[in-house]
Chain A
């Protein structure tokens, strides 16, 4: 079983749809992250949760709504997305939020917004 699991692997949605991305970590970590990876752009940090509290929100549009019900699960709820939101969405976890902590990533959800 991989450490960080993301579902679905691929998602195609229309601009008026509502969908959710799911991330689950089996590593006993306390911090979880959402990153957006677009073509030709650096990895963009979207949200960070530490001990189930949101500690970082990088000016992400409100059409993205994160949820962290417990330290093992992280969701990203999507609604009324735009075509420019098409990207690979990566979830990651770390033991905590300590300097030098390494991140463990999932395989991502490839999102296409039509």
Chain B
């Protein structure tokens, strides 16, 4: 079973639309971290946000916002008033304490295409 599920393979929107990227995770740990990374066409994954399991406060950064809900094991990402530059593949990741290596497990990614 996947530890991080990003059910949306590809999303296509028109500029200025709001869009939400879903992320559902699975862990038995009480201490863990969740991440979102953006992979533009240039290739490198760029860190966007990190949340630990004890902090369920939602976060807003400009047009980006994140909704962390432990009750549903979800960490969703919303882009408000999307722009063409938001076109990229977005990855959700989970880092757990069990196992000892702490290396993040990535979801399959959601490809977001924003049309002008």
Q: What is A's interface to B at a CB cutoff of 8 Å? A: 2, 4, 33, 40-43, 45, 48, 55-56, 88, 90, 92, 97-108, 110
Establish whether residues B103 and A42, one from each chain, have CB atoms under 8 Å apart when the complex forms. Answer: no
Answer whether A107 and B102 are a contact pair too, CB < 8 Å, given A100-B33, A100-B50: no
- List the B side residues contacting A55 at CB < 8 Å: 101
Extra contacts, 14 of them, besides A101-B95, A107-B42 (Cβ < 8 A), are A33-B103, A42-B109, A48-B101, A56-B101, A88-B43, A90-B44, A99-B96, A100-B50, A103-B45, A103-B104, A105-B45, A105-B46, A108-B43, A108-B44
**B residues neighboring A (CB under 8 Å):** 2, 31-33, 35, 37, 42-47, 50, 52, 91, 95-97, 101-104, 106-109
Cα A88 to Cα B39 in complex, Å, equals: 12
Q: How many A-B residue pairs have CB under 8 A?
A: 62
A45 and B3 CA atoms in complex are apart in Å by: 14
A102 CA to B102 CA in the complex, in Å? Answer: 11
Report chain B residues within 8 Å CB of A110: 43
**Distance (whole angstroms) from the CB of A34 to the closest CB of chain B:** 12
Q: How many angstroms between the C-alpha atoms of A43 and B104 in the bound complex? A: 10
Some 30 contacts from A to B, beta carbons below 8 A apart, are A2-B44, A4-B44, A42-B108, A43-B91, A43-B109, A56-B101, A88-B43, A90-B43, A90-B44, A90-B45, A92-B45, A99-B31, A99-B33, A99-B96, A99-B97, A99-B102, A100-B52, A101-B95, A101-B102, A102-B47, A103-B37, A103-B47, A103-B104, A105-B44, A105-B46, A107-B42, A107-B43, A107-B44, A108-B43, A108-B44
CB distance from B85 to the nearest CB of A (A): 17
| Contact with B95, one of A42, A99, A107, A108 (Cβ below 8 angstroms) | A99
